[in-house]
């Protein structure tokens, strides 16, 4: 997880929840965690599909906090820097080619990469075109200034 601290309170609560379900071994607890991650990933896939519906109707998502300053705190700085360096060196980049550049990562690191990439799209640091190329998004310069 690259320099991130573990949320021990959450871990303890999760282990207790597993214990209530008779999942007592580390293997059982890890399997439950992987199951939950898969469920979240599935929800994220559905979210993308719903975003496609909004795009189809050219609907602009309104944020209640639009006037507030954009926050990039959920973005892993190191991974974001690596992604930006790749996009910058090519002026744009195909999503699949970008992911290939990180093919040697283990599963946890890949999940961190995908989460960070999604956050960068959501925060409009990067923009994903219909042809799956990535370029700078409307908040790219704001992000660069803050980092």
Classify domain 64-147 by CATH number: 1.10.10
Query: pLDDT band at 60, cuts 50/70/90?
Result: low
Query: pLDDT band at 3, cuts 50/70/90?
Result: low
Percent of the chain with pLDDT over 90: 18
**Per-residue pLDDT at 63:** 47
Query: pLDDT band at 57, cuts 50/70/90?
Result: confident
pLDDT higher than 80, residue 133: yes
> What's the CA gap between 58 and 70, in Å, rounded?
23
The domains of the chain are located at: 1-61, 64-147
pLDDT (average), residues 40-61: 79
**Average pLDDT over all residues of the chain:** 82
- Give the dihedral of Cα atoms 48, 54, 55, 60; nearest 10 deg: -120
**Chain segment 11-22, per-residue pLDDT in tens:** 999 999 999 999
pLDDT higher than 90, residue 26: yes
**Per-residue pLDDT at 93:** 85
**What are the distances in angstroms from CA 73 to CA 13, 19, 80, 104, 139?**
24, 33, 12, 26, 14
Nearest in space to 111 (alpha carbons), one of 79, 73, 81? 79
pLDDT higher than 70, residue 65: no
**Alpha helices, DSSP H only, in 57-106?**
77-90, 95-100
pTM value is: 0.52
**Per-residue pLDDT at 12:** 92
């Amino acid at each position: 997880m690259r320099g991130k601290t573990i949320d021990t309170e959450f871990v303890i609560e999760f282990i207790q929840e597993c214990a209530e379900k008779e999942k007592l071994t580390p293997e059982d607890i890890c399997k439950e965690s992987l199951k939950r991650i898969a469920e979240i990933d599935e929800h994220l896939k559905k979210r993308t599909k719903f975003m496609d519906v909004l795009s189809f109707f050219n609907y602009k998502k309104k944020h209640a906090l639009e006037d507030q300053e954009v926050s990039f705190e959920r973005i892993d700085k190191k991974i974001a820097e690596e992604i930006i360096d790749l996009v910058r060196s090519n002026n744009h980049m195909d999503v699949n080619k970008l992911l290939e550049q990180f093919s040697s990562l283990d599963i946890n690191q890949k999940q961190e990469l995908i989460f960070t990439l999604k956050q960068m799209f959501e925060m409009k640091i990067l923009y994903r075109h219909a042809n799956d190329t990535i370029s700078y998004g409307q908040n790219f310069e704001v992000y660069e200034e803050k980092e």
